Structure 1
Amino acid sequence: MKSIKTFFATAFVALSMLGAAPAANAFAAVPPASSAVAGKSAPVFSLKMLDGKELKSSQLAGRPYIVNFFASWCPPCREELPGMVALQKKYEKQGFTFVGIAFRDRPATLPDFLWEMGVEYPVGLTTSELEAAFGKFMPDGKIRAIPTTFVIGRDGKILNVISGGLTKEDFESLILKAIGSRPSK
């Protein structure tokens, strides 16, 4: 009986992650947090990228950017990436960049995955500090669902926070909003 319960619990969690069953796990979708955090200063952060270099939020001052928490094992994250890669190429000359934060991913296989997907923007592995810094802008204080996207304007203020998968068109709209924001004086 215990093995049957374990089987069904495991199947339910797997189906929930794929969107085929109501989500009731650690990665369950949460409502967008944008109305509660729009206009607040983006978190100060430091991200050790996969190439060993460090990206600090101060290096992004005056630039519009999107921080995207994702994982290679996450189907909606995989669906988003081709659009993100195309939009990075389209808008990088206007100072825009994506910043990818791999959420509880496998460090050994992540570089190959990113290469296969054509990702050329900065990517690093999550840390408890990064999760806390960005998680404080989520309704329950934690990043529980991926993908989760934070849109930051030129002024360093959060323009939007979205939990859940986005289309290329959604991202482009958010990028244009970020590019159109005014830098702080």
Structure 2
Amino acid sequence: MTILGHASERAIVASVACLVSFSIGLAGASATRVENRVENPSRASPAEIGQPYPALEADAIDGTLVNDARLAGRPFIVDFFATWCHPCHAALADLIAARNATTPTGLGIQFILVDLGESPDVVRRWARTALSSGSLPSDAIVALDPKGVAARRWGTRRLPTTYFVNADGIVRHINRGWGPGYRNRVSRWLRDLAPPKP
């Protein structure tokens, strides 16, 4: 088998491992405060393209709260990932490269990475390493979803899954997994999220 063949095989195995581990994590997840606080029934459904994004509330690793008020009025990306998920790392690298290639300022798009099922200490260590190596944007928000509450709310069934939301709070694009063509695809989607020039 060629080197490319081995690489493709490894990518498939890693993706399957992410999906299996993720499914096991969701199976054991319990109900949450967010589910009890959703007041708008239209936002209680999983994320769908062309619809308002589902309610989001999660603790960030810096001790702040990620919620609707914090996200209001600006485009943002929600990326569900795990530190052990190799396709998640590849997708994040492509996403950052696409943003940097589009514009140095990132078009004012907020990055929110939501870690599924890991302890705060594990995620903080990963974030420190990623920041120091430049593989994580300094303006990214890293949030925690230890029991899969946000993942269920958004309808996430595999890792990585990435949601692109415009400044009006409408889900414009959803990408599940990672593979060939990902960077070009998200480059187009990032431009689509950009606010119009005055």
TM-score of the two chains, using structure 1 as the length reference: 0.69
Cα offset, 1:87, TM superposition = 4.9
Q: CA RMSD in A?
A: 3.1
What is aligned with 1:131? 151
Which residue of structure 2 aligns with residue 96 of structure 1? Answer: 109
> Residue in 1 aligned with 2:69?
58
Query: Contact between 1:154 and 1:181, CA under 8 Å: does it hold in 2?
Result: no
C-alpha change, 1:37 and 1:116, in structure 2 (3 Å) is same
Structure 1 residue 45 displacement after superposition: 1.4
- Whether contact under 8 Å (1:148, 1:161) holds in the other structure is yes
Contact 2:165 / 2:172 at 8 angstroms: preserved in 1?
A: yes
Query: For 1:160, what is the secondary structure of its paired residue?
Result: strand
Q: Which residue of 1 aligns with 2:3?
A: none
Q: Identity, % of aligned pairs?
A: 23
Cα shift at 1:180: 4.8
- In structure 2, relative to structure 1, the CA distance for the partners of 1:115 and 1:164 (3 Å cut) is same
Q: Post-superposition shift, 1:63?
A: 0.9
Q: Distance in 1 between matches of 2:167 and 2:183?
A: 21
Gaps of 5+ in 2: 1-9, 24-46
TM-score (norm 2): 0.65
Distance 1:84 1:16, change over 3 A: closer
- Equivalent residue, structure 2, for 1:37: 48
Counterparts of 1:57 and 1:104, CA distance in 2: 22
- 1:152 aligns with 165
> Does structure 2 conserve the Cα–Cα contact (< 8 Å) formed by 1:16 and 1:25?
no
1:25 and 2:20 correspond: yes
Whole-Å separation in 2 of the counterparts to 1:93 and 1:24: 30
Alignment match of 1:69 (pick from 80, 86, 91): 80
Contact kept? 2:75, 2:109, Cα under 8 Å: yes
Q: Give, in whole Å, the separation in 1 of the partners of 2:91 and 2:12.
A: 19
* Change in 2 beyond 3 A, CA 1:106/1:169: farther
Give the 3 Å change call, closer, same or farther, for CA 112–84 of structure 1 in structure 2.
Answer: farther
Shift of 1:49: 0.2
Flag structure 1 segments of 5+ consecutive residues without an equivalent. Answer: 1-13, 29-35, 136-142
SS of aligned partner of 2:63: coil
1:160-179 aligned at under 5 Å gives the runs 160-165=173-178, 167-179=182-194
Q: Distance in 1 between matches of 2:19 and 2:50?
A: 31
| Deviations 1:40-75 (CA, angstroms, capped at 9, x unpaired) | 111121221001011212222221111000011001
Q: Any runs of at least 4 consecutive aligned residues in structure 1 with deviations exceeding 4 A, and if so which?
A: 14-17, 86-93
The CA distance in 1 between the partners of 2:187 and 2:96, in whole Å, is 11
Q: Distance in 1 between matches of 2:11 and 2:165?
A: 33
For the structure 1 residues 99 and 92, does the alpha-carbon distance in structure 2 shift closer, same or farther, using more than 3 Å as the test? Answer: farther
How far residue 17 of structure 1 moved from its aligned partner, in angstroms, is 4.5
